[in-house]
Amino acid sequence: APVPEIRKGLAGVVVDTTAISKVNPETNSLLYRGYPVQQLAATKRFEEVAYLLWHGELPDAAELAEFRAAERAGRALQPNVKAAIDLLPTTAHPMDVVRTAVSVIGASDPTTDDASREANLAKSTSLFAALPAIVAYDQRRRRGEDLVPPRDDLDYSANFLHMSFGEVPDQVVVDAFDVSMILYAEHSFNASTFTARVITSTLSDLYSAVTGAIGALKGPLHGGANEAVMRIFDEIGDAGNVVPWLDAALAEKRKIMGFGHRVYKNGDSRVPTMKASLDTLVAHYDRPDLAELYDALSGEFVERKGIHPNLDYPSGPAYHLMGYDTETFTPLFVASRVTGWTAHIIEQAASNALIRPLSHYDGVDERHV
Whether 320 and 230 have beta carbons less than 8 Å apart is answered as: yes
**Active-site pick, 261, 308, 320, 344:** 261
Q: Which is nearer to ligand CMC, 191 or 291 (CB)?
A: 191
Helices 242-251 and 288-305 cross at an angle (nearest 10°) of 40
Burial class (CB in 10 A: 0-12, 13-18, 19+), 87: exposed
Whether 112 and 207 have beta carbons less than 8 Å apart is answered as: yes
Considering the complex, what minimum distance in angstroms separates the CB of residue 326 from ligand CMC? 15
Cβ neighbours of residue 160 closer than 8 Å, sequence gap 6 or more: 132, 135, 136, 177, 335
Residue 320 carries which side chain, given as an amino acid letter? H
Cα torsion angle, 345, 351, 353, 357, sign: negative
Q: Which is nearer to ligand CMC, 36 or 219 (CB)?
A: 219
Considering the complex, what minimum distance in angstroms separates the CB of residue 258 from ligand CMC? 5
For 6, 31, 40, 198, the CA distances from 358, given in Å and listed in that order, are: 10, 32, 39, 14
Q: Does the protein bind ligand CMC through residue 134 (CB under 6 A)?
A: no
Q: Does the protein bind ligand CMC through residue 312 (CB under 6 A)?
A: yes
Candidates 39-47, 80-88, 199-207, 255-263 — which segment interacts with ligand CMC by CB under 6 A?
A: 255-263
Number of residues this chain uses to bind ligand CMC (CB under 6 A): 19
Considering the complex, what minimum distance in angstroms separates the CB of residue 51 from ligand CMC? 23
Q: Does residue 86 carry a catalytic annotation?
A: no
Adjacency order of strands within the sheet including 21-24: 21-24, 29-32, 35-36
Among 99, 162, 261, 337, interactor with ligand CMC by CB under 6 A:
261
Q: Does the protein bind ligand CMC through residue 256 (CB under 6 A)?
A: yes
Considering the complex, what minimum distance in angstroms separates the CB of residue 362 from ligand CMC? 21
Considering the complex, what minimum distance in angstroms separates the CB of residue 61 from ligand CMC? 34
Closest CA to 196 of 131, 270, 187: 187
DSSP state of 145: -
Among 37, 101, 206, 225, interactor with ligand CMC by CB under 6 A:
225
Among 166, 238, 243, 255, interactor with ligand CMC by CB under 6 A:
255
Q: Does the protein bind ligand CMC through residue 97 (CB under 6 A)?
A: no
DSSP state of 179: H
Candidates 33-41, 44-52, 53-61, 252-260 — which segment interacts with ligand CMC by CB under 6 A?
A: 252-260
Closest residue to ligand CMC using C-beta atoms: 260
Q: Does the protein bind ligand CMC through residue 259 (CB under 6 A)?
A: yes
Closest CA to 347 of 54, 57, 24, 59: 54
Among 258, 317, 331, 340, interactor with ligand CMC by CB under 6 A:
258
Q: Does the protein bind ligand CMC through residue 257 (CB under 6 A)?
A: yes
Among 21, 124, 164, 310, interactor with ligand CMC by CB under 6 A:
310
Q: Does the protein bind ligand CMC through residue 311 (CB under 6 A)?
A: yes
Q: Does residue 261 carry a catalytic annotation?
A: yes
Cβ neighbours of residue 129 closer than 8 Å, sequence gap 6 or more: 70, 71, 72, 73, 74, 75
Binding site for ligand CMC (CB under 6 A): 9, 190, 220-223, 225, 255-262, 307, 310-312
Q: Catalytic residues, which ones?
A: 261, 312
